[in-house]
Amino acid sequence: METRTRTIVKALCWQALGFKVMTVIGYVFTGSVGEGGALAVLTTAVSMVNYIIHERIWARVAWGRR
């Protein structure tokens, strides 16, 4: 099982990448960097919480491990 700190660091790295992508997508759809950034902040926050919960649940599942 990995540590909680490792899970959080992985989530932060993943969300940083997602934030960049979401900002660009938001900009393309709205034409506004501000609105695109606001959309990215919201989706990043929600996604990070979901990712951490997902990772912690899977850390307890023994299936598929050797």
**What is the per-residue pLDDT for 7?**
82
**Number of domains comprising the chain:** 1
Tell me whether residue 44 is in a domain: yes
Task: Decide if pLDDT at 8 tops 90.
Answer: no
pLDDT at position 66, please?
A: 79
Q: How large is the average pLDDT for residues 30-40? A: 91
- Is 31 within a domain? yes
Going by C-alpha positions, the residue among 19, 20, 6, 15 that lies closest to residue 51 is 15
**Does residue 17 sit within a domain?**
yes
**Residue 66 placed within a domain:** no
Cα separation of 25 and 39, whole Å? 9
